[in-house]
């Protein structure tokens, strides 16, 4: 645990070295782990840092995959060989991977691994695989399972993200470089965003943690081909309880092997060896329960997984689409949908089928999963760039749009789907489905849960509906519910019959994603819970020190038998029955039935003593007691019937012998018994007469009751059917409500974003509908048109404004009629000038749904234009020669007088240095004057000479002016030359 991290670095190195030596002796030539390393831009520095700190005897093998152009010759093997003592080899085809070796993938091919041997597929294309790191990591996960380790280093893009998810799905380990240390953080950031990174470290810190992980018990057992260490029942139940409290979900129905592997892997990550210590760590670190919960769910999938299976499914879907008329509805359910790839794969297939058959159907695809975070990702429909390896270029271009960081599913495909959290084990199913796709979910569940899901799927499907399972799944013993359409790819069709409904478990109506509340009594009687039931019953019996006893329900049906009851009960004749009254021996039935009736009516213990029974041809006396159980909760309302031989009484062979054997030999007791017998006989005769008298009435009443019973049975069946439909309808409504709530939040956020964007532009904007009524406006629009919130829905022609533009409504009608936008300058009552634009409002479907009016304040621009025109006129019409130079002393303009005086045209001098047109003797002085002017000093009427091409040097007085920009900074300098005879002394 954390204590291990507090040891100094040298102690850690010594410990790691000892572990490496021990592992090397045990593993022989087999690598204790195979480490797939992905790197791209900036990866060389990270690789050098990683392997310079990596010992040469770790027992692991390393395979490096990088992004290189196929025409580029890689020098990576030579570079790595200089910094490590391990052999560095080029990854050739069919090369066996050995421990303490480094294998470098070369450009121009695809690298994978199979049975511990590298497989290289040369490519004819002029480019390498789109995502070579993903490609290799996926094969590594399938080939090495727990022994697969993934390291993602510096690089751009998201290659490796999908591959590391496969590594985690197979209980492998993932390490990622810290984005702060990476030269390019794209790949590390994408990998960390999955939430599946076990360690985020600088490359130099990775070897120490890697050694600890691969030589800890979990991976050592996996390397030795032994199962991961089993957990005792106590710690396992504690972990289940902690997960239930933290997440609301029960994992006790998952396959024990999967649970043990995942828990052992988490223990390995934290260097925890004892199960009880891990339980304590879970209690101290609640966030660990969240990580364990996510790993147990195994949320890994991809588009069109097993492409051949999808090709077969496409044929079945095409037949299904062709059999339906236009406008009909197709309903599909994908339980365990993870992040939605399988749902969208089905949607894409259906879209293609509808295009081919030229039919338009209403498609509803329900995707559900236990993990609400996976559902949130599915709802966004945004996936990493790596999906390009799972989709054909045509599908990628047709059904996805490229965005920063990945691809987003097209809106019309997204609209075919609904996603919601749901526990498929506890929550009611969807109904009237044409297809259920449940791939690779049941393989993680116990057989008892699989026996519940398959009848439920049968019930949820329409007649002739399809069931699509994973390649490792089957219908098992439920061949009477489904017939195979394709045995290899596990596509089945629903068979008709009531079997599925008869086996359908009872569901509690509740919202998807909410943990189902357990019903203890019903749960105790479910198949698969017999062991727990037996434990409860035995505990109840032992707490009362009972002799031979039977636990029954209110009808007398036997639930459990304790001890030897053969002297009191015997099997009834004919068809075997399990009712205590039918099995009671002669003489016991009447007393037992009366005692049961009284106990149920009074909730007290009822005793009957000295009951004479016929036991195996002889007579015996027995005492019985009947009591209603109150504890534990699972046994509430059951009855406990106990049998005891009557004390001091022995069995007798016949009636006379029984009396003498019971020591009832005095006359008084015999007479009492005879009186009791006569009373019982008289009572019996009277009762018979009354029964004969009422028999006719009872027969008549019985006929009526039978008729009524038939009607009630029919009504009950209808109610049961309606109840099931209402449950399913409630489930669908709740799911749709969840989806709508999510969309409403997105729309609200988008609305807020748009409103803030419009206001931040400081542009007055008004939205009108097709009737020129106000739909929306920005705050700036209030300054032009007298608008209030209550004006939404009013025609714009009814509103007062500051605009001196009487034809605004007419302009709007014209644009709406012609769909040609209009632009004009308008003036307000306070002389502010605005640029008005009127444009059609187009929806996402390119339909016109009103107008957009924008008003941009251009008063400042107009003033600047006016000033510029005035300055231009003064400049051009000035009487003195004027030259304007920039701060680099390059001529940028000159007026007409300067052209005449100097004899140069603008084409000759603009862009050239000023010093090219003035005499050599004046250049130094001119440069000094310009520097003084640029520094802020005034330069006026300085004696100077103007050199004219025609007249030679002309004495003038030179004045320099600084021209400034918008912020007041020096932008240019104007040189004005006046004849000296027109000016006084300077």
Q: Which of 322, 425, 294 is nearest to 438 (CA)?
A: 425
How distant, in Å, are the alpha carbons of 14, 613, 661, 672 from that of 665? 95, 20, 9, 12
* Cα–Cα dist 935/930, whole Å: 9
* Cα–Cα dist 286/47, whole Å: 35
Distance of CA 625 to the CA centre of its chain: 58
Q: Give pLDDT tens digits for 698-710.
A: 676 776 777 677 7
Q: Which of 128, 139, 158, 159 is catalytic?
A: 159
Q: Does residue 617 contact residue 595 with C-beta atoms inside 8 Å?
A: no
Q: Which of 27, 40, 223, 338 is catalytic?
A: 40
Element (H, E) at 95: strand 95-96
Q: Does residue 313 contact residue 351 with C-beta atoms inside 8 Å?
A: no
Q: Which of 32, 67, 181, 857 is catalytic?
A: 67
Q: What is the 3-state secondary structure (H, E, C) of 652-702?
A: ECCHHHHHHHCCCCCHHHHHHHHHHHHHHHHHHHHHHHHHHHHHHHHHHHH
What stretches of 120-198 show up as alpha helix (H) in DSSP? 132-144, 161-169, 186-193
Q: Does residue 894 contact residue 909 with C-beta atoms inside 8 Å?
A: yes
| Active-site residue, 614 included | no
Q: Does residue 211 contact residue 58 with C-beta atoms inside 8 Å?
A: yes
What pLDDT does 228 receive?
Answer: 45
Supply φ then ψ for residue 264, to 5 degrees. -60, -35
Q: Which of 692, 743, 688 is nearest to 414 (CA)?
A: 743
Burial class (CB in 10 A: 0-12, 13-18, 19+), 291: middle
- Quote the tokens at residue 386: 């790596």
| Active-site residue, 27 included | no
Q: Give pLDDT tens digits for 105-154.
A: 888 778 899 998 998 887 655 444 478 898 899 999 989 888 899 999 99
Q: Give pLDDT tens digits for 48-68.
A: 899 998 998 888 999 999 887
How distant, in Å, are the alpha carbons of 286, 768, 779 from that of 761? 46, 19, 11
What pLDDT does 344 receive?
Answer: 94
What pLDDT does 672 receive?
Answer: 46
Mean pLDDT of the chain: 78
User: What's the average model confidence in pLDDT over 717-745?
Assistant: 76
| Active-site residue, 159 included | yes
How distant, in Å, are the alpha carbons of 358, 559, 670 from that of 535? 62, 13, 47
User: What's the average model confidence in pLDDT over 928-947?
Assistant: 82
Q: Which of 254, 182, 267 is nearest to 220 (CA)?
A: 267
| 914 Rama class: left (phi>0) / alpha (psi -120 to 50) / beta | alpha
User: What's the average model confidence in pLDDT over 845-871?
Assistant: 78
Low-confidence winner among 324-333, 452-461, 649-658, 760-769 (lowest mean pLDDT): 649-658
Q: Does residue 50 contact residue 203 with C-beta atoms inside 8 Å?
A: yes
Distance of CA 240 to the CA centre of its chain: 22
What pLDDT does 369 receive?
Answer: 87
* Cα–Cα dist 599/606, whole Å: 6
pTM of the model: 0.53
């Amino acid at each position: 645990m954390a204590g291990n991290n507090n040891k100094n670095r040298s102690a850690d190195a010594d410990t790691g070295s000892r572990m490496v030596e021990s592992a090397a002796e045990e593993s022989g030539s087999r690598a204790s782990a195979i480490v797939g390393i992905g790197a791209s831009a900036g990866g060389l520095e990270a690789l050098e840092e990683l392997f310079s700190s990596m010992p040469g005897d770790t027992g692991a093998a390393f395979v490096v995959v990088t992004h290189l152009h196929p025409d580029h010759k890689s020098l990576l093997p030579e570079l790595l060989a200089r910094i490590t003592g391990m052999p560095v080899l080029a990854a050739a085809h069919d090369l066996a991977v050995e421990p303490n070796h480094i294998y470098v993938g070369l450009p121009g091919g695809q690298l994978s691994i199979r049975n511990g041997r590298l497989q290289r597929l040369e490519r004819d294309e002029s480019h390498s695989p789109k995502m070579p790191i993903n490609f290799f990591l996926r094969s590594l996960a399938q080939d090495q399972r727990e022994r697969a380790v993934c390291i993602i280093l510096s690089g751009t893009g998201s290659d490796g993200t999908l591959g590391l998810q496969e590594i985690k799905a197979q209980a492998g380990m993932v390490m990622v470089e810290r984005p702060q240390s990476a030269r390019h953080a794209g790949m590390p950031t994408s990998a960390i965003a999955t939430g599946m990174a076990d360690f985020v470290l600088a490359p130099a810190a990775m070897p120490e943690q890697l050694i600890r992980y691969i030589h800890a018990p979990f991976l050592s057992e996996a390397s030795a081909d032994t199962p991961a260490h089993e957990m005792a029942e106590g710690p396992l139940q504690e972990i289940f309880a902690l997960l239930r409290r933290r997440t609301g979900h029960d994992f006790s129905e998952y396959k024990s092997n999967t649970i043990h592997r995942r828990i052992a892997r988490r223990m390995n990550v934290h260097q925890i060896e004892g199960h009880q210590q891990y339980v304590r760590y879970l209690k101290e670190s609640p966030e660990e329960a969240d990580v364990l919960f996510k790993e147990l769910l195994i949320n890994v999938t991809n588009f069109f997984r097993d492409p051949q299976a999808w090709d077969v499914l496409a044929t079945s879907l095409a037949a299904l689409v062709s059999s339906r008329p236009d406008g009909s509805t197709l309903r599909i359910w994908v339980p365990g949908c993870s992040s939605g790839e399988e749902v969208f794969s089905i949607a894409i297939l259906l879209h293609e089928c509808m295009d081919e058959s030229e039919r338009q159907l209403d498609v509803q695809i329900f995707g559900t999963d236990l993990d609400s975070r996976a559902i949130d990702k599915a709802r966004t429909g945004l996936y990493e760039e790596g999906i390009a390896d799972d989709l054909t270029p045509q599908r990628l271009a047709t059904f996805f749009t490229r965005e920063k960081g990945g691809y987003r599913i097209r809106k019309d495909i997204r609209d075919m789907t609904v996603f919601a959290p749901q526990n498929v084990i506890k929550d009611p199913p969807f109904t009237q489905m044409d297809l259920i796709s449940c791939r690779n979910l049941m393989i993680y569940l116990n057989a008892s849960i699989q026996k519940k899901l398959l009848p439920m799927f049968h019930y949820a499907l329409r007649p002739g509906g399809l069931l699509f399972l994973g390649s490792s799944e089957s219908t098992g013993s439920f061949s009477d519910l489904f017939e195979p359409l394709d045995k290899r790819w596990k596509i089945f069709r629903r068979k008709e019959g009531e079997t599925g409904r008869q086996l359908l478990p009872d569901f509690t109506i509740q919202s998807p994603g909410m943990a189902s509340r357990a019903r203890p009594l019903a749960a105790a009687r479910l198949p698969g819970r017999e062991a727990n039931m037996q434990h409860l019953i035995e505990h109840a019996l032992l707490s009362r020190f009972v002799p031979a006893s039977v636990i029954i329900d209110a009808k007398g049906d036997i639930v459990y038998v304790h001890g030897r009851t053969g002297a009191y009960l015997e099997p009834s004749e004919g068809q075997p029955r399990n009712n205590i009254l039918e099995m009671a021996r002669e003489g016991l039935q009447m007393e037992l039935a009366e005692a049961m009736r009284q106990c149920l009516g009074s909730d007290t213990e009822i005793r009957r003593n000295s009951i004479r029974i016929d036991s195996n041809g002889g007579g015996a006396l027995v005492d019985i007691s009947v009591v209603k159980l109150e504890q534990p909760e699972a046994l509430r309302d059951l009855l406990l019937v106990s049998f005891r031989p009557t004390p001091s009484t022995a069995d007798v062979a016949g009636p006379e012998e029984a009396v003498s054997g019971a020591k009832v030999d005095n006359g008084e007791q015999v007479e009492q018994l005879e009186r009791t017998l006569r009373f019982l006989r008289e009572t019996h005769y009277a009762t018979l007469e009354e029964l004969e008298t009422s028999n006719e009435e009872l027969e008549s009443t019985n006929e009526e009751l039978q008729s009524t019973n038939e009607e009630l049975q029919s009504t009950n069946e209808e109610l049961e059917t309606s109840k099931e439909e209402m449950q399913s309808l409630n489930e669908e409504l709740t799911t749709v409500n969840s989806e709508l709530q999510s969309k409403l939040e997105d729309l609200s956020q988008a609305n807020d974003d748009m409103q803030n964007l419009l206001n931040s532009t400081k542009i007055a904007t008004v939205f009108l509908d097709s009737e020129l009524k106000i739909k929306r406006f920005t705050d700036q629009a209030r300054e032009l048109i007298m608008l209030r919130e209550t004006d939404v829905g009013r025609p714009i022609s009814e509103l007062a404004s500051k605009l001196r533009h009487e034809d605004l409504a007419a302009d709007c009608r014209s644009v709406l009629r012609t769909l040609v936008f209009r632009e004009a300058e308008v003036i307000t009552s306070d002389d502010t000038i605005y640029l008005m634009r009127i444009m059609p409002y187009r929806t996402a479907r390119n339909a016109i749904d009103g107008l957009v009016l924008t008003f941009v304040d251009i008063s400042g621009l107009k003033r600047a234009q006016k000033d510029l025109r005035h300055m231009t006129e003064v400049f051009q019409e000035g009487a003195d020669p004027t030259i304007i130079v920039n701060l680099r002393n390059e001529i940028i303009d000159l007026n007409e007088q300067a052209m005449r005086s100097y004899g140069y045209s603008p084409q000759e001098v603009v862009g050239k240095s000023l010093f090219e047109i003035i005499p050599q003797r004046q250049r130094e002085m001119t440069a000094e004057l310009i520097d003084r002017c640029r520094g802020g000093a005034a330069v006026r009427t300085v004696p100077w000479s103007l050199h004219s091409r025609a007249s030679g040097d002309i004495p003038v007085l030179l004045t320099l002016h600084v021209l400034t920009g918008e912020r007041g900074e020096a932008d240019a300098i104007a040189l004005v030359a006046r004849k000296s005879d027109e000016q006084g002394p300077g």
